[in-house]
Amino acid sequence: MAATLPAFSAPRCSCSSSSSPRLPLPRFLPSAQPPAAATLLRGRARLQTSAAAAAAAVEVGGVKIAREGNVEMSILRSDVVKEGDPTNNVPDTIYSKFGLQLHRRDNHPLGILKNTIYDYFDKNFSGQFNKFDDLCPLVSVKQNFDDVLVPADHVSRSYNDTYYVDAQTVLRCHTSAHQAELLRDGHTHFLVTGDVYRRDSIDSTHYPCFHQMEGFRVFSPDEWSGSGMDGTAYAAADLKKTLEGLAEHLFGAVEMRWVDTYFPFTNPSFELEIYFQDDWLEVLGCGVTEQEILKNNGRTDNVAWAFGLGLERLAMVLFDIPDIRLFWSNDKRFTSQFSEGKLGVKFKPFSKFPPCYKDMSFWINEEFTENNLCEVVRGIAGDLVEEVKLIDNFTNKKGMTSHCYRIAYRSMERSLTDEEINDMQWNVREEVKNKLKVELR
């Protein structure tokens, strides 16, 4: 059974059963970590991009975020990437994803999937669900965590797991960050799709920016009063029926099962797994919204359900896409294979280039984390790094711990030369030594 674990800090292999593919998972299990204080309420911002300006500047709530310094733009790159600010851990590689909005491209697998889910809700609940797919990914700590009752000591709040712009502002790590504000704005049925960001390990199914869709539905007492059920049972039953219908809409007649789990914002909480290609695959997290969230946002007498699904994870299965980096590819051999409205066209790899493996060993220190290592490697190799894997780990008699990591370099688009791989590896070693203060062996 696939478990729901913190996306990054959990032991890697426990994130899924030995046979399930490892794909981006929800990360909200109970945990204990030092508190990260901070509450700041920002108004809801909308993110708007024009195709031409996509990478250069994005507009957030009427304010532009620019890559280049520009006096007219009140949020500059320097507001997001603050060199040397200990409360900012957003690297350029992440900043460059801002505004790309893959989920808004109708010919992209993520856009096709989003639209297919929209079709399901339009058909079954005509016009009831409001759709949001351009809410700004820059949110307050309050929106991302406090508003959805994530405990102060929860691991997901740590700098190791989440990208902080400053002590009160993060790149949303889930679309649940928008639940409270939309409720307060009076919405009772909504779908929120967007890019979400998590510091994470590197392999074919993990990427620090991915896409989620949140669904939320509020019920009023007259909806459940005649049912013979209490509000919670009524919402839970409706949630399951709605999501089973969605799974069937996407996958056809599939076997599915519900697994009980934990999220801070729902109770009871469930995961839906579907039987696909000989295995159980977790496709979403959901549950009946905690009463406190409704109460805090003007819906005291109501009940609600919520779900959050990872678009990449579903798209990899539906389109047979073997590596999560491909979603970001501009290579025509990738992009030309998908077209609007065509869900489930199987991706044909244009050729598989050989990977090149490089090992590196070092004595770790107390601050060492795998997320930090991966960030350094990605900062140098970008999307040419396919996997960073711990292959050896021991502690000597003096109590010093050594890790050996195997880095797989592989381009999705071309053969890499020995020279460029050696250069990258040399740079990786230098930066790992200098930035992570570990002792290379």
Binding site for ligand PHE (CB under 6 A): 26-28, 174, 176, 214, 263, 265-266, 285-287, 306-308
CB of 179 to ligand PHE, least distance (A): 8
Residue number with CB closer to ligand PHE (125 or 350): 125
Cα distance between residue 109 and residue 318, in whole Å: 9
Measured from the CB atom, the residue of 49 and 261 that comes closer to ligand PHE is 261
Closest residue to ligand PHE in the complex (CB):
26
Of 29 and 81, nearer to ligand PHE (C-beta) is 29
Specify the residue, 205 or 266, whose C-beta has the smaller distance to ligand PHE: 266
Q: Which of 367, 369, 355, 176 is nearest to 264 (CA)?
A: 176
Nearer to ligand PHE (CB atom), residue 207 or residue 307 = 307
What string of DSSP letters covers 148-161? Answer: GT--TT-GGGSTTT
Residue closer to ligand PHE, measured from CB, 169 or 212? 212
- Tokens standing for residue 429: 């070693």
What proportions of the chain, in percent to the nearest 5, are helix, strand and coil? 30, 25, 45
The residue among 242 and 266 lying less far from ligand PHE, judged by its C-beta, is 266
State how far the Cα of 320 lies from the Cα of 322, in Å rounded to an integer: 6
Q: How far is the CB of 160 from ligand PHE (least distance, A)?
A: 17
- Collapsed DSSP state (helix, strand, coil) of residue 91: coil
From the CB of 7, what's the least distance to ligand PHE, in Å?
8
C-alpha closest to that of 46 among 137, 128, 124, 155 = 137
Min dist. Cβ of residue 296 to ligand PHE (A): 16
Q: Which tokens hold the place of 169?
A: 């502002």
Structure-block tokens of residue 92: 């350029």
Smallest distance from the beta carbon of 75 to ligand PHE, in angstroms?
25
Q: What is the nearest approach in angstroms of ligand PHE to the Cβ of residue 27? A: 5
- Min dist CB 227 to ligand PHE, Å, is 22
Alpha-carbon torsion 242, 246, 249, 253, what sign? negative
User: Which residues share a beta bridge with 270?
Assistant: 260, 286
What is Dmax (Cα atoms) for the chain? 72
Work out the burial of residue 291: count CB atoms within 10 Å of its CB; fewer than 13 is exposed, 13-18 middle, 19 or more buried. middle
Residue 130 or 335 with smaller CB distance to ligand PHE: 130
Cα–Cα distance for residue pair 436/430, rounded to 1 Å: 10
Alpha-carbon distances, residue 30 vs 153, 156, 339 (angstroms): 9, 10, 41
What is the amino acid identity at position 251?
A: F
The nearer residue to ligand PHE, 175 or 425, going by C-beta atoms, is: 175
Q: How far is the CB of 70 from ligand PHE (least distance, A)?
A: 34
What's the min distance (Å) between Cβ of 175 and ligand PHE?
Answer: 7
Task: Provide the 10 A C-beta neighbour count for residue 299.
Answer: 20
